[in-house]
Every structure is written in structure tokens, then in C-alpha cells.
Amino acid sequence: MDYFKVGKIVNTFGIKGELKVYPYVDDPSEFDDFEKVFIKRNEGGELKEYAVRSVRYHKGMALLGLLGINDMTGAEKLKECEIFITRDMAKPCGEDEYFIKDLYDMEVITDEGEALGILSDIIFTGANDVYVVKTKEREILIPAIKQCILKVDTENKKMTVKLLEGLR
């Protein structure tokens, strides 16, 4: 099954077992749509499913109540764990939007048909993301703007780009 990380439990909140979650999603209100979540307790560990009993927000954080976690002691055990959902639970992408997970390891070619390399990393900046493309010789940084990113084909794992002057 395909999972997406949607947040990290950074602390407990109150005495009734609520979890203070730092959201990884663009819009934290997406947590309102989750009927269940999956939590990984340790690196390499299995995901455990929890039904969501409540969601509210406080200072940019999601406060998540889960069935079976009813006190601070139970909530403490989940601190520092990451929260996941399945792909089918995720909000659909709009036009020219993609799940970040789908961009990694994508083959990157120029508009002239030249194979550049593989998208190996994404740098998140304030203005726009920057895609790191690993070539045979080095890395090329390509801004994720419409002038550079011409086509993204997530199904075939291919991205077509136009290299503006100075990007090589």
C-alpha cells in the first residue's frame, strides 16, 4: 500500500490524550477529512491504524484525538511519531499539482530530447521549490516554475524541462 506522511506528533495536549501534530500538508484543515490515520512508532516499524475521534486547531498545529488514546500517558508514547494516510485518502491534486513523493526518481529530459538525469531531491524555498537533478557529472538545480517545468508525467515518471540560460 502507498502511504503519505501528513504530520509529526510533537507533543501531547491536555489531559485527555490529544496529540499536538505539526502538519506536513499545505492546508492543515485537510485533517478534518481523515477518519483514520496510521502511526509508525519507530524507524522501520509497522504502521498501526487509529480511528480519529476529534480534530481541532491551535496556533498552526492540529490537535488530534484518537480512539484508544484517552489520557496523557497513552499520548506520551506517540510523541515524535509520524502520521501517515493512504494515497486514496489524500486530497486530489489540482492542475499542475503533484504529490512530492511522485516526483522523486523521475527521469528529467529537456524540451530538445536530451536526457539530463534523475530528480534526486527537492529544495523548499519561500518563493518556489527547486528540483535537484543528478546528472552523470554533477547536479543541476532547476526552479519549479512554469517557464522551466514544461510537462510532468507521473504515470511514466518523466519530466520535461526547458533549461533557462545559466542553469547548466
Residues 20-44 pLDDT 10s: 999 998 888 999 999 999 998 877 7
Residues 7 and 70 in one domain: yes
Residue 95 lies in a domain: no
Residues 36 and 84 in one domain: yes
Burial class (CB in 10 A: 0-12, 13-18, 19+), 12: buried
Choose one of 58, 89, 120: the last residue of a domain: 89
pTM: 0.76
The CATH code of the domain that includes 156 is 2.30.30.240
Q: Count of residues for the chain?
A: 168
Strand order in the sheet with 158-161: 139-143, 130-134, 115-123, 107-110, 158-161, 149-153
Burial 140-165 (b: 16+ CB within 10 A, else e): bebbbeeebbeebeeeeeebbbebee
Residues 60 and 11 in one domain: yes
- Of 49-53, 89-93, 118-122, least confident by mean pLDDT is 89-93
Q: What is the pLDDT of residue 82?
A: 94
Return d(Cα 53, Cα 137) in angstroms, integer: 52
Residues 112 and 132 in one domain: yes
- Model confidence at 74: pLDDT above 90: yes
Return d(Cα 54, Cα 32) in angstroms, integer: 8
Spatial CA neighbour of 49 closest among 60, 58, 38, 61 = 38
Residue 94 lies in a domain: no
Residue 168 lies in a domain: no
Residues 15 and 42 in one domain: yes
Total tally of structural domains belonging to the chain: 2
Q: What is the pLDDT of residue 126?
A: 79
- Model confidence at 45: pLDDT above 80: no
Residues 74 and 9 in one domain: yes
Spatial CA neighbour of 18 closest among 57, 60, 83, 69 = 69
Q: What is the pLDDT of residue 167?
A: 67
Q: What is the pLDDT of residue 98?
A: 87
Residue 9 banded pLDDT, cuts 50, 70, 90? very high
- Its domain, for residue 81, covers 3-89
Percent of the chain with pLDDT over 70: 98
Percent of the chain with pLDDT over 90: 74
Instruction: Provide the mean pLDDT of the chain.
Output: 91
The CATH code of the domain that includes 84 is 2.40.30.60
Residues 40 and 114 in one domain: no
Cell digits of residue 153:
508525467
